[in-house]
Amino acid sequence: MLDADAYFPLSLQPNGKKLPMELNFLSIGESVRKRREDLGYTQNDVSEISGVAERTIRSIEGGENSNLSNLVKVMDVLGLELSVQIKQMGND
């Protein structure tokens, strides 16, 4: 079973669990790299399966801003997903 805390250290949590740190490309890249390594895949493996260039996978794992389509393809291969939730607004 996937341990969400191991791969989603920030607000990427699939269960909606809120954590204090801000979501950013570096944290996404770290999560992608950790999951890839835990699955025993090389960057080349993920490239071949996803159709995303190995250079782009290196960029994603390095925390560089990436095309959302490529990020989703890579995350799909690794069994990860991004989600968007409606933010709770205060009654100010």
Q: Express each pLDDT in 51-81 by its tens digit.
A: 999 999 999 999 998 899 999 999 999 999 8
Query: What CATH code is carried by the domain that includes residue 14?
Result: 1.10.260.40
Give a yes or no: residue 45 inside a domain.
yes
Half-sphere exposure at residue 68, Cβ-oriented, CA atoms within 13 angstroms? 3
Q: What would the mean pLDDT of 79-90 be, rounded to a whole number?
A: 83
Alpha-carbon distance values, 53 to 32, 44, 48, 59 (Å): 15, 8, 8, 10
Q: What is the pLDDT of residue 12?
A: 45
What value does the mean pLDDT of the chain take? 81
- pLDDT band for position 92 (cuts 50, 70, 90): low
Give a yes or no: residue 35 inside a domain.
yes
- Overall domain count for the chain: 1
Give a yes or no: residue 85 inside a domain.
no
Question: What DSSP line would sit under 23-50, residue for residue?
Answer: P-HHHHHHHHHHHHHHHT--HHHHHHHH
Only one residue has tokens 């990860």, namely: 80
C-alpha–C-alpha distance, residues 29 and 62, integer Å: 6
Q: What letter does residue 88 receive in the DSSP assignment?
A: P
Q: Express each pLDDT in 30-56 by its tens digit.
A: 999 999 999 999 999 999 999 999 999
Give the domain extent around 69.
4-77
Judged against a pLDDT cut of 50, whether residue 29 lies above it is answered with yes
Give a yes or no: residue 38 inside a domain.
yes
Q: What is the pLDDT of residue 36?
A: 97
